[in-house]
Amino acid sequence: MNNLDKVSECLAELEKLYAVGDEEQKSFIASAFDNILNCSEITHNGLNLKKIEKVTNLPNRESLMRDISHLKNEAMLIIIHMNQIEAIKQLYGFEIAKKVIVDKSEKLNHLVKETEASLYSINLQKFAILVRERIFFDKYLSILQFSIFNNMESCTYCGDDGEDIITNFTAGVAYGAEHLHHTANVALQDAMISKENYKIYDNPPKCTILKKMTLNKHKVYKDALHEGYVVPYFQPIIDSRDDSVMKYEALARLLLPDGTIVAPYHFLNVALEDKTFEFFTRQMMQKVFNIYDKTSAEISMNLTYENIKSKTMLEYIKNRLEKYGGDRITFEIVETEEIDDYEVVENFILMIKEYGCKISIDDFGSGYSNFTNIIKLNIDFIKIDGLLITKLLSDEKARLMIQGLIHFAKNINIKTIAEFVSSKELSDCVKELGVDYIQGYYYGEPRDAEFYNLV
């Protein structure tokens, strides 16, 4: 064993000790890491622990462990396992497997922005994405769900015998500043055992802990609501013919005093269950109208069935439209099984049409769509369910269903919007199917009004 091998072995042992050590021991081990890395022999021989994995040219496991050891704040770690690599090596040989690994590493590298996160190659079966700032946590969870699992899994490779080689992924996700690598691996193993795409690490669920988490979320939401921290973010909706911006959808966020942006995933369920939800909707709507008044852009905003059933909410909407007008406003209504009276929806549409507003049905095709009732409504757009769109490149049934929805919409003169479009491949595909408008991270992520020059 040469000196470099001995050093690598030493570092592996230090990693194990770091995982189980107390704070004092961790501090000592981190110093030991640094001392070893700064050793002149190692530098001379190129064993550099921003160490690069040879096949992918990405920082390797040692680099990841060192970066985790230096974390000062909560981070997010995603470990991605390529499930078929061992089988590909056995069936087709290492060179074919290597091509698959390199291709996947390049595609992942394209999704990860250096200013937001770091990509690592842990071994020839695993990649890791380390996200150091909370503001990007939701973005990279969305990238995992809607880009990595759907778009990248659809890629095929041709073996020597002419057969297609298909790969897919399993992932583990963890949050924190300590034991991050261990907890992400626990989540990964849990996902593999349960045969799910991914799992987010969760401590053993105890009733008191769950109650405390719910109460904390409720407090954050209530404080934000009463302090006026509800803010609209905007995402462009693109014309598929020329990629120009057709309008912007307003999406609710909480902007906390420390600058943290909280996405709806963390508070919307709490808001919906709370009696203050109408107050939340009004606050959001007023801020959208304030921006609408300063721009010439078209803006879309969301309403629930509960909103349009409320007489006081309808009066508020009518009052705002009287003041600001509505010829550049689209209201999006989520069509779910909760809609038990389409006459309520029809009356709302008749009211807002008097002000020149347009209407869109959101999540169309999600499983509850009633085509007969939709035909009766005077709607302008249907937004095809995003979960269907994400399956488009890998699921022929999803493709046929989307094709049918677009054909149905064209026959009744309703425009279609494809959401959750996160890649060029997906964009090209929905354009080919004839969708009218496109929304998703490929064209722009939700940002504040200033970012899109709306104010």
Single-letter amino acid code for the residue at 107: K
pLDDT of residue 83: 83
The answer for residues whose C-beta is within 8 angstroms of residue 245's C-beta and 6 or more apart is: 236, 237, 238, 239, 297
pLDDT of residue 432: 96
400-412 in b/e form (b: 16+ CB < 10 A) is ebbeebbebbeee
pLDDT of residue 353: 96
Give SS3 for 38: coil
User: How far from the centroid of its chain's Cα atoms is residue 269's Cα?
Assistant: 17
| CATH fold for domain 213-439 | TIM Barrel (3.20.20)
pLDDT of residue 69: 87
pLDDT of residue 6: 54
Alpha-helical (H) ranges within 2-158 are 3-20, 23-37, 40-45, 61-69, 85-92, 94-111, 137-143
Q: Which residues of the chain have pLDDT under 50?
A: 2, 4, 23, 26-27, 34, 37-50, 205-211, 367-369
pLDDT over 90 percentage in the chain: 39
Alpha-helical (H) ranges within 70-206 are 85-92, 94-111, 137-143, 180-194
The answer to whether 111 and 143 are in contact (CB under 8 A) is yes
CATH class held by domain 56-200? alpha beta
Burial class (CB in 10 A: 0-12, 13-18, 19+), 28: middle
What residues form DSSP beta bridges with 330?
300, 358
Give SS3 for 375: helix
What are the backbone angles phi and psi of residue 415, rounded to the nearest 5°? -80, 150
Burial class (CB in 10 A: 0-12, 13-18, 19+), 311: exposed
Burial class (CB in 10 A: 0-12, 13-18, 19+), 31: exposed
pLDDT of residue 11: 53
Domain ranges for the chain: 1-49, 56-200, 213-439
The answer to whether 385 and 401 are in contact (CB under 8 A) is no
